[in-house]
Amino acid sequence: MEAQDQPNSDQIAFWNGDAGQRWVDDQEAMDATLAPFDEAAMEALGVPKGGEVIDLGCGCGGTTLELARRTGPMGRVLGIDISTPMLGRARERASAASLGHTLFVNTDASTYRFEAQAFDCAFSRFGVMFFDRPAAAFANIRKALRPGGRLGFACWRALAENEWVTLARDVALRHVAPLEPARPGAPGPFAFAEPAHVASVLGRAGFTGITLRPVDHAMRHAGEVAEIAATMARMGPASRLIADAPENVRGRIVEDLAEAIAPRHDGKAIDLAAAAWIVTANA
């Protein structure tokens, strides 16, 4: 099979390039910003003491480490991600925290040969919306769960409800052309925005008892105005929009972002609206 024909080949290339390194560089800030969604999804999932858990799209390992703390040393947490640079950071953090009951595997969860019926639950924070073939991917993940095992994850609701994206996007579009619209359900941050689509994907994968609960949090971006503006241009969907823009254009976008957020800066940070689904299901 040619690389370009493999499932998720575009995402594998993307997260092993500059995008993955940006997340490593901004890991601490991103963990703090997304922490409220971690808590909501883990509470909905119910992580058992001594349990065995998969962390899907574990990235730099912040969620893996928290899952490991919740299971305790008698448990086991398997972190899965396609990004080599992000997993490098995850392994460093697990070692520093002396969490020896964590294991990280650089692979694609949609095709990885998990131990059959070996895990109590599978978790993800914004990591499962990027599958080329989502029903097949979730069917593969379900095989790893014991009968009655649980799936729980956070995914973004509609783009229009997520100011943390739309503010940067609208500023960038003053300077660059829009990207081609993605087809509905195409891999990307907002692929699971529609509840019916999520329920259909999970149902076809064999999951039952599917629930979606809306959760809204202000994403707090700490730092000076210029620093926050630069991060907003560098991270998230807006970064793809301006990736090919000349350096001077990117500079003007950052300047305009700083001007847009300055009135909302409280001296320490700004808050931007973020809207997610907390999804749970039974294997």
Please tell me the predicted confidence (pLDDT) of residue 6: 60
Would you say residue 2 has pLDDT above 50? no
Which residue matches tokens 């105005």?
225
Contact assessment for residue 127 and residue 83, using Cβ atoms and an 8 Å cutoff: no
- Confidence label for 253 from pLDDT (cuts 50, 70 and 90): very high
Per-residue pLDDT reduced to its tens digit, 11-60:
888 778 777 788 788 888 889 889 999 999 999 999 999 999 999 999 99
Q: What is the DSSP letter of 42?
A: H
Please tell me the predicted confidence (pLDDT) of residue 4: 41
Higher pLDDT, 178 or 199: 199
Please give the structure tokens belonging to residue 198: 């999520």
> Which segments of the chain does DSSP mark as H helices, in order?
9-15, 18-25, 27-45, 62-71, 84-96, 134-143, 163-172, 195-204, 225-234, 237-241, 247-261
Would you say residue 198 has pLDDT above 70? yes
Q: What is the pTM of this model?
A: 0.91
Mean pLDDT value across residues 161-173: 94
Would you say residue 137 has pLDDT above 80? yes
Please tell me the predicted confidence (pLDDT) of residue 123: 98
Would you say residue 3 has pLDDT above 80? no
User: Which domains does the chain carry?
Assistant: 3-282 (3.40.50.150)
Mean pLDDT value across residues 220-242: 87
Q: Which of 194-203, 230-239, 257-266 has the lowest mean pLDDT?
A: 230-239
Q: Look at residue 157 and give its three-state secondary structure.
A: coil
Which residue matches tokens 């490593």?
24
Per-residue pLDDT reduced to its tens digit, 65-121:
999 999 999 999 999 999 999 999 999 999 999 999 999 999 999 999 999 999 999
Please tell me the predicted confidence (pLDDT) of residue 280: 98
Q: What is the DSSP letter of 134?
A: H
Would you say residue 1 has pLDDT above 50? no
Average pLDDT, rounded, for the chain: 92
Please tell me the predicted confidence (pLDDT) of residue 186: 83
Would you say residue 125 has pLDDT above 90? yes
Give the closest residue to 122 by CA, choosing from 153, 100, 154. 153
Would you say residue 166 has pLDDT above 60? yes
Q: Which of 11-25, 108-122, 153-167, 244-258 has the lowest mean pLDDT?
A: 11-25
